[in-house]
């Protein structure tokens, strides 16, 4: 009975050895990689860019003088009317100049009035009265002399009385001469030239005061257009801190923007390759992250280089594309994230399916088959737009080349 376990073990060992010694079946044949022949076909790729919503700019408001913000009469995003007062600027230097100009004008006007009053002063009036009195006495003495001459001629009156009256007329004439001289001297001291100088000084003082008053009126800054007020130095809320009362400002500095919600735009960043394909006037569609508007029809209005101070030499240029939306809405608030699809002109291009191209960072390569040897080799290619069925290839391969699928 003890032999049965040994026999069973021996039989199991022989069976396992037979399984191990049996030859394994040959592996299935390996499938050949798929091939793609490069051809040219017409494409109209879209440029997909990310950006954010902004309102159209109706007007930009700048500080009219150096100073500090004395008052803000509207809040951020408030609807404002044209002509509405928005800011008041305190300019101590201008206020001091205004006080000095007012004082200078008062002094010039007082000096002019004193000159005019002195021209009719007691001394001149007295001399003029004396001159008039002497003239009256001379006239009276001449009439009496004429009468006496007739009486002397008729032998009625003695000649001596005529001699006395003639001497009286000469005496009055001498007196009149001295009174006239004194009057001319007094008037000469208040000459027209002196008055003209005073008039010029008064005119200059008034002109200076009016100029300063106009500058002071500009310290009250009114809205040049109707729209929404953005209390920041750019058209983007959050681009910097809104202005605060007491903040120092400089003449010409940007204070705020009057935005037009009816003309919203999306400003999106684009690299150099995408910017080269975008054309002003190209149709586009924009999807806004908030507002529930769906895609909104739009049009490209501007493509410009974004100057970045302190950029690294040789770095890729960055561009900004502005896309104006066909309609606005109160729910479309500036700062919302947006994605825009911009149509580009139709053109002939090589399109490679994604499974035939390896893209890593700034590099892209394909496996190109050599028709002479049948061997495949990696080839670097230049890519363009991303399409629904592949990637546009701009260079590195040519129509007619055969590519192998990447595994």
For residues 17 and 206, which has the higher predicted lDDT (pLDDT)? 206
Say what percent of the chain tops pLDDT 70.
84
Residue 257 reports pLDDT greater than 60: yes
How far apart CA 78 and CA 230 sit, in angstroms, is: 8
Which pLDDT score is estimated for 362? 66
Cα(247)–Cα(68) distance, rounded to whole angstroms?
5
Most confident of 177-191, 288-302, 385-399: 385-399
With beta carbons less than 8 A apart as the criterion, state whether 77 and 237 touch: yes
Tell me the C-alpha distance between 312 and 56, whole Å. Answer: 32
| pLDDT tens for each residue of 107-140 | 988 888 877 766 556 777 788 888 899 899 989 9
Name the pLDDT band for 235 (thresholds 50, 70, 90).
very low
DSSP label of 121: S
Question: 35-39, 53-57, 375-379: which range is least confident on average?
Answer: 53-57
Fold of 347-404: 2.40.420
Portion of the chain with pLDDT greater than 90, in percent = 20
Strand partners, 194: none
pLDDT mean over 328-357: 86
Task: Give the separation between CA 202 and CA 113, rounded to whole angstroms.
Answer: 11
Give the pLDDT score at 291: 60
Residues 185-209 have a mean pLDDT of 81
CATH 2.40.30 fits 261-343, yes or no: yes
What pLDDT digit, counting tens, does each position of 272-323 carry? 888 888 999 999 999 887 766 678 899 999 999 987 655 555 556 789 999 9
pLDDT at position 226 over 60:
yes
CA separation for the pair 292, 333 (Å, rounded): 12
**DSSP letter string, 226-261:** -EEEE-SSSSSTTSSPPP-TT-EE-TT-EEEEEEEE
Q: What is the per-residue pLDDT for 33?
A: 85
Residue 327: which pLDDT band, with cuts at 50, 70 and 90? confident
Q: Does 238 have pLDDT greater than 50?
A: no
Could you tell me the residue ranges of all domains in the chain? 97-214, 261-343, 347-404
Q: In the block, which residue shows the tokens 């030239």?
A: 193
Same fold, 261-343 and 347-404: no
Residue among 165, 180, 166, 170 at smallest CA distance from 133: 180
The average pLDDT across 12-24 equals: 60
Mean pLDDT in residue range 8-28: 61
CA 260 to CA 55: how far, in whole Å? 6
Mean pLDDT, all residues of the chain? 82
Confidence of residue 239 (pLDDT cuts 50, 70, 90): very low
Position 352 pLDDT exceeds 90:
yes
The arithmetic mean of pLDDT across residues 220-237, rounded, is 74
């Amino acid at each position: 009975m003890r032999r049965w376990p040994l026999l069973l073990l021996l039989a199991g060992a022989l069976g396992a050895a037979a399984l191990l010694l049996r030859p394994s079946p040959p592996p299935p044949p390996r499938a050949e990689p798929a091939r793609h022949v490069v051809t040219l076909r017409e494409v109209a790729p879209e440029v997909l860019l990310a950006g954010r919503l902004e309102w159209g700019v109706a007007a930009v408001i700048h500080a009219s003088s150096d100073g500090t913000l004395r008052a803000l009469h509207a809040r951020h995003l408030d609807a404002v009317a044209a002509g509405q007062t928005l800011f008041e600027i305190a300019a101590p230097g201008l206020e001091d100049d205004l006080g000095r100009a007012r004082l200078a004008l008062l002094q010039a006007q007082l000096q002019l009035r004193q000159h005019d009053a002195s021209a009719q002063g007691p001394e001149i009036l007295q001399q003029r009265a004396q001159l008039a009195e002497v003239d009256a006495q001379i006239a009276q003495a001449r009439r009496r002399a004429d009468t006496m001459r007739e009486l002397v001629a008729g032998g009625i009156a003695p000649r001596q009385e005529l001699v006395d009256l003639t001497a009286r007329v000469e005496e009055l004439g001498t007196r009149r001469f001295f009174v006239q001289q004194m009057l001319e001297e007094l008037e000469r001291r208040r000459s027209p030239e002196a008055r003209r100088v005073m008039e010029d000084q008064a005119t200059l003082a008034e002109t200076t005061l009016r100029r300063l008053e106009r500058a002071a009126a500009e310290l009250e800054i009114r809205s040049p257009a109707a729209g929404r007020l953005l209390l920041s130095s750019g058209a983007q809320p959050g681009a910097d801190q809104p202005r605060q009362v007491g903040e120092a400002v400089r003449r010409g500095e940007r204070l705020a923007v009057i935005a037009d919600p009816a003309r919203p735009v999306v400003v999106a960043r684009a690299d150099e390759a995408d910017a080269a394909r975008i054309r002003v006037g190209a149709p586009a569609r924009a999807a806004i992250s908030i507002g529930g508007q769906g895609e909104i029809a739009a049009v490209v209005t501007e493509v410009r280089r974004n100057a970045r101070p302190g950029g690294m030499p040789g770095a890729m240029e960055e561009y900004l594309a502005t896309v104006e939306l066909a309609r606005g809405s109160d729910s479309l608030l500036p700062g919302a994230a947006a994605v825009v699809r911009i149509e580009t002109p139709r053109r002939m291009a090589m399109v490679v399916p994604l499974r035939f191209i390896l893209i890593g960072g700034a590099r892209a390569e394909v496996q190109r088959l050599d028709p002479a040897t049948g061997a495949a080799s990696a080839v670097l290619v230049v890519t363009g737009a991303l399409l629904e069925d592949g990637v546009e290839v701009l260079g590195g391969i040519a129509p007619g080349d055969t590519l192998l699928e990447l595994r």
